[in-house]
């Protein structure tokens, strides 16, 4: 297993119970800022830049167990853990491997299963890598360069949040070459017999295919106290497409603590 250097985090809120947010592929901890600020009257949030993303260190390979252990290492007291997509898989594993540190768990639009191969994310990465950063003049040029491979302007805008200006040049924050190579690992989920007995909220986007009835058995086998909620008008990026709904779901679920 790969050891991961300490992850970059941002704190939001100064009172209440602790909540730790884990973003998905191509994201950053700040993707959860709006929701964390909305919860700041009741909760102290930690927004994590996951390995190979944002300002956290790059690794040599994608390793969900190491990712989960790195997240668990941030918890100096039992906390609620919220994870989306890739971050949701890491959060699930953190709860399974370190249940004493996870007071409750929220899994956003992902399941503890190995998904079928898809060219969508590979296409995103290929388009991002195809941009000549040395010749790039503006973020608008990058947006235009991605338009064919990523026609949805919302997704393009999300990806471009990880394009950072450095001096006279540009760089991508995610470790794109490694992520492309290890996409099969990203789609998978490590085998484990562990069971997490704490309360779990499973949030699905109604227009997404990442949470299906056929995956319920796998989820309930590892998380028997799970409750599923489907959010209308949302695809995979539920918390950015329906932030008010997700905020209210979290407020109610975390308020049970």
Count Cα atoms within 13 angstroms, Cβ side, for 157. 7
* Phi, psi values for residue 34, rounded to 5°: -60, -45
Among 118, 120, 138, 177, the one annotated catalytic: 177
Check if 236 is active-site.
yes
Q: Give catalytic status of residue 8 as yes or no.
A: no
Catalytic pick among 43, 84, 98, 236: 236
Q: Which of 85, 111, 208, 240 is catalytic?
A: 85
Catalytic residue status for 56: no
The Cα 188–Cα 115 span in angstroms is 6
For the range 230-234, what are the long-range contacts, defined as Cβ-Cβ under 8 Å and sequence gap of 24 or more? 230/203, 230/204, 230/205, 230/206, 231/203, 231/204, 231/205, 231/206, 232/206, 233/206, 233/207, 234/205, 234/206, 234/207, 234/208
Residues recognised as catalytic: 85, 177, 236
């Amino acid at each position: 297993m790969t050891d991961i250097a300490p992850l970059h985090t941002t704190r939001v809120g100064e009172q209440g119970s602790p909540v730790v947010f884990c973003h998905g592929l191509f994201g950053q901890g700040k993707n959860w800022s709006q929701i964390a600020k909305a919860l700041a009257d009741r909760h102290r949030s930690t927004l994590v830049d996951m390995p190979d993303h944002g300002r956290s260190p790059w690794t040599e390979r994608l390793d969900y167990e190491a990712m989960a252990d790195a997240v668990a290492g941030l918890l100096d007291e039992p906390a609620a853990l919220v994870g989306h997509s890739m971050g949701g898989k890491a959060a699930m594993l953190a709860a399974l491997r370190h249940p004493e540190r996870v007071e409750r768990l929220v899994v956003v639009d992902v399941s503890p299963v190995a998904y079928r191969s898809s060219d969508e994310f590979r296409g995103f990465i290929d388009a991002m890598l195809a941009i000549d950063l040395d010749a790039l003049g503006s973020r608008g040029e990058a947006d235009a360069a991605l338009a064919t491979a990523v026609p949805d302007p919302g997704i393009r805008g999300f990806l471009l949040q990880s394009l950072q200006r450095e001096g006279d040049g540009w760089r991508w924050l995610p470790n794109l070459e490694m992520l492309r190579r290890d996409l099969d690992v990203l789609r998978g989920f490590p085998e484990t017999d562990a069971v997490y007995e704490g309360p779990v909220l499973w949030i699905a986007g109604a227009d997404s295919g990442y949470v299906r009835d056929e995956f319920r058995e796998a989820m309930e086998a590892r998380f028997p106290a799970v409750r599923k909620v489907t959010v209308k008008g949302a695809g995979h990026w539920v918390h950015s497409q329906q932030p008010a709904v997700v905020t209210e779901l979290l407020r109610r679920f975390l308020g049970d603590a």
